[in-house]
Amino acid sequence: MTQPLTLAHGDWRCEVVPALGGCLAGLWHQGLPVLRSPGAAAITSARQSACYVLVPYSNRVGHADLKWQGTSHPLVRNNGAEPHAIHGIGWQRPWAVLDHSADSVLLSHEHRREPGWPFAYDASQWIQLGDQGLTMSLSITNQDEVATPVGLGWHPFFVKHPGMGLQFEATQRWDMGDDQLPTRARPVSGLDAALDALNIDHCFSGWSGQAVLRGLGQRVWQLQSSLKHVVVFTRPDRDDVAVEPVSHVNNALNLLAQDPGLEPEDLGVTVLAPGESLSAHWSLSVGVAS
C-alpha cells in the first residue's frame, strides 16, 4: 500500500493519502489548519479527509440509477443507508503515484467497466504547493468504446471559525427536495452570508469561479476554479463548510432524462467521445482583509 506523502513549500504544508482516493488528509498555513485536517493516521476513508476528488461525477445520482441514452444503469449505493450513489468512485479507489517532489505529486487512477460506473476511463490529479498556496488539477479520459458522460470536481472542507462569512457570485441556485436531489433552479446573485447559523446544501450554477472566505482576523481565503458550478454544504452544528467546485448540477444526467426541455449545457453535462479528455483545476490562496 502506498504510504501517505507530505508536501511542503514556504508557509504551506499538506498530507496526501494515495491509498484513500488520493485525498488530502490536511492542509496547513503557518501551522494552522485551513481545511479540516485530521492527518493521515486518523482517517480510514476519504470522506473523513480535508479534500477529495469527485470523478467521474459530482454529488448524487438519484436512487443509484443512471439514465443515459434511454438505458438505466444501476450503480452501487456507496454511502451507507443512503439510497443514492454519491460523489463518483475515485474517492473509494487507490491512486498510483506517478511523480513526487518536495512540493508536488502526480497521481493516477484507472477504471474499467464495473457496477460502480459502467464506462471505462483513466483519471489523473496533480497537487502542488507554491508561494501563494494550493493548486489541484484533475483530468479524465474516456477509455470506453462509446461516448460517455463525465463530471469532475473537488470536495474541500474549510475549517469554520466564529464570524466567518462566504461570498461568491452565481446566477442560479438549485432547490433541494427532502430526498437531497435538486428540484428546480431559481435566479440568484450568488451568496453573501455569515456561516455561524447557515444551513445549506445547494448547488449554484453560473458561478464566477471565485469565492472568498472572510472573518479570520486579517486572513482571507481566496478560492478560484475553472469550473462553473459550486456546491455549498454546512449546518450550524458543523465546524466545517464544504465549498465544492464542480462541473455539473447534482443528479444532472437524470434531470436531463426527466425534462426534455433541458439541454446538457444547462446542467454542465460533458460527453466525451472515445479518447477525449476533460480537465479542470482549482486553487486556494491567502489574502489580507481590506
Residue 262: predicted pLDDT: 87
Query: What value does the mean pLDDT take over residues 183-210?
Result: 97
Q: What is the pLDDT of residues 152-196, one digit of tens each?
A: 999 999 999 999 999 999 999 999 999 999 999 999 999 999 999
Which residues does 285 contact at the CB level (< 8 Å), separation at least 6? 132, 133, 134, 221, 222, 224
pTM for this structure? 0.96
Reported as a single tens digit per residue, the pLDDT across 26-38 is 999 999 999 999 9
**Domain tally for the chain?**
1
CA-to-CA dists, residue 200 to 83, 84, 190, 281, angstroms: 20, 19, 13, 24
Question: In the chain, what's the furthest Cα-to-Cα distance?
Answer: 53
CATH code, domain carrying 216: 2.70.98.10
- As a whole number, the mean pLDDT across the chain is 95
Mean pLDDT of 235-258: 95
Q: What pLDDT digit, counting tens, does each position of 72-125 carry?
A: 999 999 988 899 999 999 999 999 999 999 999 999 999 999 888 999 999 999
Domain enclosing residue 101, as ranges: 5-288
